[in-house]
């Protein structure tokens, strides 16, 4: 089962390809998504990286949480399921 990580504090200029490449240092990345504003198309500064191996995901948290990426401090943790909106 895939493990999905929340990545916060992303530089607004980063691309999904760069995000995937950077997080591949911890293991094989299944997918990398940057969340964008629907109206402007600009990054919201967070995204998700998915690993097929839970050990790789754990390694990524250890490697990247609290670290600097292009002048911004990353927050990396296991993603929680999205809650229903009221």
Burial zone of 8 (CB within 10 Å; 0-12 exposed, 13-18 middle, 19+ buried)? middle
* Direct distance between the N- and C-terminal alpha carbons of the chain, in angstroms, rounded to an integer: 30
Q: Which domains does the chain have, with CATH numbers?
A: 3-78 (3.30.70.330)
Which tens digit of pLDDT belongs to each residue from 42-65? 999 999 999 999 999 999 999 999
Considering the entire predicted model, what is its pTM?
0.90
Which tens digit of pLDDT belongs to each residue from 1-47? 789 999 999 999 999 999 999 999 999 999 999 999 999 999 999 99
């Amino acid at each position: 089962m895939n493990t999905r990580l929340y990545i916060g504090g992303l530089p607004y200029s980063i691309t999904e390809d760069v995000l995937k490449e950077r997080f591949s240092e911890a293991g094989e990345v299944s997918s990398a998504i940057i969340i964008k504003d629907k109206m402007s198309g600009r990054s919201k500064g967070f995204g998700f990286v998915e690993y097929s191996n839970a050990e790789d995901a754990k390694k990524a948290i250890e490697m990247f949480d609290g670290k600097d990426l292009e002048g911004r401090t990353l927050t990396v943790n296991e993603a929680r399921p999205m809650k229903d909106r009221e």
